[in-house]
């Protein structure tokens, strides 16, 4: 296996040469004997910043592959406690050791099944970045955390989380209902609900610190809060997501028996169970903003800054609306987002370029779309 050296953040990495595993000029990281995906650099850049704010006493990188996350946490997040880098692939284990040596950092390299290892350790922060769904690993990942520990989770199985595949949604996440127009947000809320339910079995509550959608994945940072009462309180934040199939009104409710739209009386589509609380902790976002100045070297510095700003603005509102969906229902031209947001005093959402959030009542939303459309 030929290796090449790449630079990510402040670390140097040996990774398999993509040209050796390309097919007809195309390359998929899954074809390589050790997985390394450059498209996840934004994910890892955000994670380095978030972990520096968490400042955990110890870290487990449960599926390390090249070791890039764990090594970046040592070098850039400045984790001084034990960092465990695990992978069940013996080729990965060998490469992780080489990359640790290349960067002159220490880490405990383990060759183990991720679920098995996570049931055996106790750390301050566990990073779970599987190839696909995190669902089979969530219970053991939560088990691996010390009191007030934080879990970092990546999920790429959007079809299951958003409701595109009903059978996968039910099988992996225990979700019923149908896909909604604000499916990108729905998927993140479903993932949080799954984490809350898995944590509650272990008498732990959850506190979402930060969550976002980017490119083709979700990324979450969730703090555990020990105790049966905290677990019960978290379960009280689970509910159902609704959307009227007639007028497009959308809302969330802890009640699971809504059938008629409160605005027009139309039939409601539903999706859940889903987390209906806040997706981000405002204080955590502010701490990330404050620390970001020390990470100006990141190639995604500006993108991260904009994301943090947008997440803070979005946090005050419920589910987003899609301007194209509402305009289509009203049979009017799609208005410009700029004029619509001015009319509604609303904000864009990072989930969808056609999405917006507002605290205005739905009849006002409809009127603003009509007025803004007339100016188009």
Q: What is the DSSP string of 4-34?
A: EEEEETTEEEEEE-GGGG-BTTB--GGGSSS
- What span, in angstroms and rounded, lies between the C-alpha atoms of 244 and 365? 14
Dihedral sign for Cα atoms in the order 10, 11, 16, 20:
positive
Q: Are 100 and 83 in contact (CB under 8 A)?
A: no
What is residue 24's predicted lDDT score, i.e. its pLDDT?
Answer: 65
- What span, in angstroms and rounded, lies between the C-alpha atoms of 98 and 168? 38
- What span, in angstroms and rounded, lies between the C-alpha atoms of 53 and 77? 8
User: What are the two backbone dihedrals, phi and then psi, of residue 347, each rounded to the nearest 5 degrees?
Assistant: -135, 150
Specify the pairing of strand 145-155 against strand 217-226. Answer: antiparallel
Which homologous superfamily does the CATH classification assign to the domain defined by 3-237+274-314?
Answer: Vaccinia Virus protein VP39 (3.40.50.150)
- What span, in angstroms and rounded, lies between the C-alpha atoms of 221 and 74? 18
3-state secondary structure of 304: helix
Dihedral sign for Cα atoms in the order 214, 148, 227, 145:
positive
pLDDT tens digit sequence for 151-197: 999 999 999 999 999 999 999 999 999 999 999 999 999 999 999 99
What is residue 255's predicted lDDT score, i.e. its pLDDT?
Answer: 79
- The structural domains of the chain, with segments of one domain joined by +, span 3-237+274-314, 321-355+362-375
What is residue 27's predicted lDDT score, i.e. its pLDDT?
Answer: 65
What is residue 314's predicted lDDT score, i.e. its pLDDT?
Answer: 95
For the chain, give the longest Cα–Cα distance: 65
Could you read off the pLDDT tens digit of each residue along the chain, which spans 376 residues?
889 999 999 999 999 887 666 676 676 776 677 888 999 999 999 999 999 999 999 999 999 999 999 999 999 999 999 999 999 999 999 999 999 999 999 999 999 999 999 999 999 999 999 988 999 999 999 999 999 999 999 999 999 999 999 999 999 999 999 999 999 999 999 999 999 999 999 999 999 999 999 999 999 999 999 999 999 999 999 999 999 999 999 999 997 778 899 999 999 999 999 999 999 999 999 999 999 999 999 999 999 999 999 999 999 999 999 999 999 999 999 999 999 999 998 999 999 999 999 999 999 999 999 998 877 6
User: What are the two backbone dihedrals, phi and then psi, of residue 24, each rounded to the nearest 5 degrees?
Assistant: 55, 40
pLDDT tens digit sequence for 82-135: 999 999 999 999 999 999 999 999 999 999 999 999 999 999 999 999 988 999
Specify the pairing of strand 11-16 against strand 59-61. Answer: unpaired
3-state percent breakdown (helix, strand, coil) of the chain, nearest 5: 40, 25, 30
What is residue 35's predicted lDDT score, i.e. its pLDDT?
Answer: 81
Q: What is the DSSP string of 112-164?
A: S-HHHHHTT--EEEEEE--SS-SGGGHHHHHHTEEEEEEEEEEE--HHHHHTS
Q: Are 358 and 317 in contact (CB under 8 A)?
A: yes
DSSP state of 295: G
Reading the block at residue 108, the tokens are: 């405990």
What is residue 212's predicted lDDT score, i.e. its pLDDT?
Answer: 98
DSSP state of 225: E
Element (H, E) at 83: strand 83-86
């Amino acid at each position: 296996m030929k290796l090449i050296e790449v630079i990510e953040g402040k670390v140097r990495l040996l990774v398999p040469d993509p040209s050796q595993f390309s097919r007809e000029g195309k390359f998929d990281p899954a074809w390589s004997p050790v997985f390394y995906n450059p498209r996840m650099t934004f994910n890892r850049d955000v994670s380095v910043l978030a972990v520096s704010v968490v400042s955990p006493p110890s870290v487990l990188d449960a599926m390390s592959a090249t070791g890039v996350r764990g090594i970046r946490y040592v070098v850039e997040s400045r984790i001084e406690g034990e960092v465990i880098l695990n992978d069940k692939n013996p080729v990965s284990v060998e490469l992780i050791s080489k990359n640790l040596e290349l960067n002159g950092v220490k880490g405990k390299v383990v060759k183990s099944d991720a679920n098995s290892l996570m049931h055996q350790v106790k750390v301050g922060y566990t990073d779970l970045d599987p190839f696909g769904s995190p669902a089979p690993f969530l219970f053991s990942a939560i088990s691996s955390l010390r009191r007030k520990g934080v879990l970092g989770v990546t999920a790429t199985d959007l079809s299951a989380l958003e409701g595109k595949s009903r059978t996968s949604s039910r099988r992996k996440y225990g979700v019923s209902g149908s896909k909604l127009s604000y499916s990108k947000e729905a998927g993140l809320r479903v993932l949080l609900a799954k984490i809350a339910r898995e944590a509650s079995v272990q008498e732990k509550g959850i506190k979402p610190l930060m969550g976002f959608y980017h490119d083709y994945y979700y990324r979450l940072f969730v703090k555990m809060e020990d105790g049966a009462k905290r677990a019960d309180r978290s379960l009280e934040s689970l509910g159902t997501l609704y959307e009227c199939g007639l007028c497009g009104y959308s809302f969330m409710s802890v009640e699971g028996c809504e059938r008629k739209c409160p605005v027009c009386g139309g039939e409601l589509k539903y999706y859940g169970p889903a987390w209906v609380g806040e997706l981000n902790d405002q204080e955590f976002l502010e701490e990330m903003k404050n620390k970001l100045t020390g990470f100006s070297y990141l190639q995604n510095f500006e993108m991260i800054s904009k994301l943090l700003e947008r997440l803070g603005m979005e946090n005050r509102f419920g589910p987003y609306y899609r301007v194209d969906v509402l305009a289509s229902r009203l049979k009017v031209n799609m208005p410009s987002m700029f004029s619509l947001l001015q009319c509604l005093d609303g904000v864009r959402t990072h989930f969808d370029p056609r999405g917006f959030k507002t605290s205005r009542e739905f009849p006002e939303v409809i009127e603003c779309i009509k007025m803004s459309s007339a100016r188009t």
